[in-house]
A and B are shown apart, each in its own frame.
Chain A
Amino acid sequence: MAITSVKNLKEFSTTNERFEGAHLLCPGCAHSMIVRELMNCTDDNLVISTNTGCLEVSTAVYPYTSWDTSWIHIGFENAATAAAGAEAMYKARKRKGTLKNPDAPVKFVAFGGDGSTYDIGFQWLSGAVERGHNFTYICLDNENYANTGGQRSSSTPIGASTTTAPAGRVSYGEKRNKKDMLAIMAANGASYVAQVAPNKWKNMAQAFQKALATDGPCYINALSACTTEWKFDPKDTINISDLATDSLVFPLYEIIDGTELNITYRPKNVLPVKDYLAAQGRFKHLFKPENAYLIEEWQKRVDAKWEYLQRREEARV
């Protein structure tokens, strides 16, 4: 029976286990929290595809697997297409009566990091969403190519220091603003789009359950704080995530059918952006006097985005 009314974390922790605790992700990595929650918030059968990246290399190293469910990895860029191909086969076999468990409910889920989602797999994701496959794509957004040692992606926020856009004597690091994948996916025809974070676990479970219940392509952008590349203590993953959502650097909202925007979390006390930045080594250089203007600009951008989201929500367009 599907888990629809989990009341607290203790109860949640007793829900079914289809993602084994044994894996090679870094201590403090948020990926496993997000993956476990997705798999714990439904009792339906799952076919999961995963792009090459941290999650893939840490959970399916032959002869072991962490996945007690159907799972497939093909390449760096094509998990969305893998979900689409498996979903197409499901439809064909259901029609022809060749499925072994024809009546069992099945959900198709694709995981990718921001490298494979925002960058190298963007076209594959866009194609699969446009074609209307019934699947949920979850981006584990840690804002860099963490699997290969912390290079920039188009999700890396301005001012972050990465190995391919490092802060240096004459550079403050990343020069571009983070790409707005939610707006893109909403415009691409996704039936349901949401931004979630593992510190707001009930909010995240609700978004997952909504996506899985939606008939059509869904896109979820999940904040996955990266202890290794963001440079914070592994025990602080949830604290960093709290700073991200409560400073509104990472606002939580959903977009239904491309138009209906709902803010799903409103912090009681909004924290300054600089508190979020100060907690991470990747932004350390922004606190030099010559870079102070970057933090001010960032605060303005966050305020403007929050204002925009509220207006969108109010306008219902």
Chain B
Amino acid sequence: MAEKIDLQEIEVWDGNYAATQAMRQAQIDVVAAYPITPSTPIVEGYASFMADGYIDGEFVMVESEHAAMSGCVAAAAAGGRVATATSSQGFALMVEVLYQASGMRLPIVLNVANRALAAPLNVRGDHSDMYLGRDSGWVQMDAFNSQEVYDMNLCAFRVGEHPDIRLPVMVHQDGFVTSHTAQNVCPLSDDIAYNFIGEYKPMDDLLDFSRPVTHGAQTEEDWHYEHKARQHKALMDARPVIESVFAEFEKVSGRKYKRVESYMTEDAEVIIVALGSTVESARLAAKQLRDEEGIKAGVVGPRVIRPFPFDAIRDALENCKAIGAMDRSCPGGALGMLFNEVSAAVYATANRPLVTNYIYGLGGRDLAIVDIKAIFRELKANADAGKITTQIQQFIGLRGPKLGFFETRGGK
């Protein structure tokens, strides 16, 4: 039996260590992993728990991220709890197997410390890797700080392993800003955490020889479409499951989570929609602007990126006048993902707020409170004018002349 750890009521953990501790408490059967900055400390931390006798499961240090996810897929098919961690190029190398994991309906928890994608090579945080995996069929949860990394990990096992869902789950955190910033984290005790997650219940277990199973069959035009539609349905059906897991988590932790986290949006005229640690920065900026300039600013942060919270986003945004959708990934010749998805959610509302797109923070470029305040002021100008007064997409925090794309026609 693995040794338990007596945790303090308040620990000082960075996001990586929060993930590692949650993985230890989940009593994972197999972790197959390959280290990559900035998620490396998760893998190292798990290895040191292993070396010190805190882990009963197997830890397989494979030769690449593709192999890491491949090992996870087979281990999950063999009927036990599985998790791993990665970032950036490693995530990119994993992509083929990410689709196989979700298509084979195998619950695996993947911690992603988000980082830019090369070229140019860059180890700092942005959301390029997250966006690369957006259509991979995984449930995707977003943590804005270390506490939430811990909490979302515990919830992730519950959601993914739910008998009606059986899908893999990613927990995203910002590379370095969250993964390497020590913060106060209130963990659950080992027993309470494990009891919350519960024992793993195998399904179509490769190691149950009384009922041989075939995993990873071939389907062509006769069955492929039905399989993919069912997979999408399972992902969409995760919405109420996530809500009930969050409700149960509140009972054991006192911490309340929603699929979309709204901050001061009830009376907000202008709202920023963002992901990751930027949500917390934007909240600070919104509070200051309300106090200092009387701008009714609010912030919306999708806690669950997939299944996309279309309904909850729409409900949170429909009564405001102007929205800034912030994308921390080079949009590659289009509008940003968050812009497109937010616009779709508010398009069918009576009020139809004005939506603009801000690209920011690529390759770890800092986003200061003053930058976010400037965005809120632009949104306020749009709200007052009743039309978009800038180009629809702007790059902010960039050296050189202002960069903007996608002209409006009459401000709409």
Could you tell me which A residues sit within 8 Å of B by CB distance? 45, 47, 49, 56-57, 60-63, 65, 67-75, 77-78, 81-86, 88-93, 95-96, 98-101, 104, 106, 123-124, 126-128, 130-131
Q: Which of B66, B207, B210, B223 is within 8 Å of A93, CB to CB?
A: B207
Chain B nearest CB from A156 CB (Å) reads 25
Given contact pairs A71-B213, A86-B77, a sample of 19 additional A-B residue pairs in the complex whose CB atoms are under 8 Å apart? A65-B214, A69-B209, A70-B208, A71-B214, A73-B217, A75-B97, A85-B30, A85-B70, A88-B32, A89-B76, A96-B56, A99-B207, A100-B205, A101-B210, A106-B207, A106-B209, A123-B63, A124-B64, A131-B60
The answer on a CB contact under 8 Å between B29 and A124 is no
Q: Which of B62, B73, B96 is within 8 Å of A131, CB to CB?
A: B62
Q: 24 pairs across A/B with beta carbons < 8 Å? A: A47-B78, A49-B74, A60-B217, A62-B218, A62-B227, A63-B223, A74-B74, A75-B100, A81-B62, A82-B74, A84-B71, A85-B72, A86-B75, A86-B207, A89-B75, A89-B80, A90-B78, A92-B80, A96-B56, A98-B202, A100-B202, A100-B207, A101-B208, A124-B63
Docked Cα-Cα span, A69 to B207, in Å, equals: 10
Least CB separation from A18: chain B residue: B212
**B 77-99 binary contact with A (CB < 8 Å = 1; else 0):** 11110100000000000001100
The answer on a CB contact under 8 Å between B206 and A86 is yes
Residues of A within 8 A of B202 (CB): 98, 100
Chain A nearest CB from B132 CB (Å) reads 18
The answer on a CB contact under 8 Å between B80 and A98 is yes
Docked Cα-Cα span, A77 to B100, in Å, equals: 13
The answer on a CB contact under 8 Å between B70 and A124 is yes
Given contacts A73-B215, A78-B70, contact A123 B77 (CB under 8 A): no
Least CB separation from A69: chain B residue: B212
Docked Cα-Cα span, A123 to B61, in Å, equals: 14
The answer on a CB contact under 8 Å between B217 and A75 is no
The interface centre, meaning the residue of B71, B82, B213 with most chain A CB atoms within 10 A of its CB, is B71
Residues of A within 8 A of B56 (CB): 92, 95-96
Residues of B within 8 A of A104 (CB): 209
Residues of A within 8 A of B74 (CB): 49, 72, 74, 81-86, 89
Residue B369 at the A interface, CB < 8 A?
Answer: no
Residues of B within 8 A of A85 (CB): 30, 32, 60, 70-75, 78
Residue B404 at the A interface, CB < 8 A?
Answer: no
Docked Cα-Cα span, A92 to B57, in Å, equals: 5
The answer on a CB contact under 8 Å between A47 and B206 is yes
Docked Cα-Cα span, A45 to B211, in Å, equals: 11
Docked Cα-Cα span, A62 to B220, in Å, equals: 9
The interface centre, meaning the residue of A49, A73, A78, A130 with most chain B CB atoms within 10 A of its CB, is A78
The answer on a CB contact under 8 Å between B60 and A88 is yes
The answer on a CB contact under 8 Å between B70 and A68 is no
Docked Cα-Cα span, A289 to B75, in Å, equals: 56
**B 96-135 binary contact with A (CB < 8 Å = 1; else 0):** 1100100010000000000000000000000000000000
The answer on a CB contact under 8 Å between A88 and B217 is no
Least CB separation from B62: chain A residue: A127
The answer on a CB contact under 8 Å between B73 and A70 is no
Docked Cα-Cα span, A300 to B380, in Å, equals: 84
Could you tell me which B residues sit within 8 Å of A by CB distance? 29-30, 32, 56-58, 60-64, 66-67, 70-80, 82, 96-97, 100, 104, 200, 202, 205-210, 212-220, 223, 227
Residues of A within 8 A of B58 (CB): 88-89, 91-92
Chain B nearest CB from A39 CB (Å) reads 12
Least CB separation from A102: chain B residue: B207
Chain B nearest CB from A27 CB (Å) reads 20
The answer on a CB contact under 8 Å between A74 and B216 is yes
Docked Cα-Cα span, A178 to B96, in Å, equals: 29
The answer on a CB contact under 8 Å between B97 and A74 is yes
The answer on a CB contact under 8 Å between B79 and A127 is no
Docked Cα-Cα span, A151 to B198, in Å, equals: 50
Docked Cα-Cα span, A82 to B60, in Å, equals: 12
Chain A nearest CB from B103 CB (Å) reads 10
The answer on a CB contact under 8 Å between B79 and A60 is no
Residues of B within 8 A of A100 (CB): 202, 205, 207-210
Least CB separation from B209: chain A residue: A45
Given contacts A57-B218, A60-B214, A88-B32, contact A123 B78 (CB under 8 A): no
Docked Cα-Cα span, A82 to B73, in Å, equals: 7
Least CB separation from B71: chain A residue: A85
The interface centre, meaning the residue of B61, B80, B212, B223 with most chain A CB atoms within 10 A of its CB, is B212
Docked Cα-Cα span, A67 to B218, in Å, equals: 13
Residues of A within 8 A of B64 (CB): 123-124, 127
The answer on a CB contact under 8 Å between B207 and A90 is yes
Residues of A within 8 A of B205 (CB): 100
Docked Cα-Cα span, A78 to B74, in Å, equals: 10
Docked Cα-Cα span, A90 to B206, in Å, equals: 10
Q: Which of A57, A93, A131 is within 8 Å of B29, CB to CB?
A: A93
The answer on a CB contact under 8 Å between A126 and B63 is yes
Residues of A within 8 A of B97 (CB): 74-75, 78
Chain A nearest CB from B142 CB (Å) reads 27
The answer on a CB contact under 8 Å between B79 and A74 is no
Residues of B within 8 A of A130 (CB): 63
Residues of A within 8 A of B200 (CB): 98
Docked Cα-Cα span, A117 to B318, in Å, equals: 55
Docked Cα-Cα span, A51 to B301, in Å, equals: 41
Residues of B within 8 A of A73 (CB): 215-218
Q: Which of A60, A74, A126 is within 8 Å of B100, CB to CB?
A: A74
Chain B nearest CB from A49 CB (Å) reads 7
Given contacts A88-B60, A92-B57, A101-B209, contact A72 B77 (CB under 8 A): yes
Residues of A within 8 A of B76 (CB): 89
The interface centre, meaning the residue of B210, B215, B223, B227 with most chain A CB atoms within 10 A of its CB, is B215
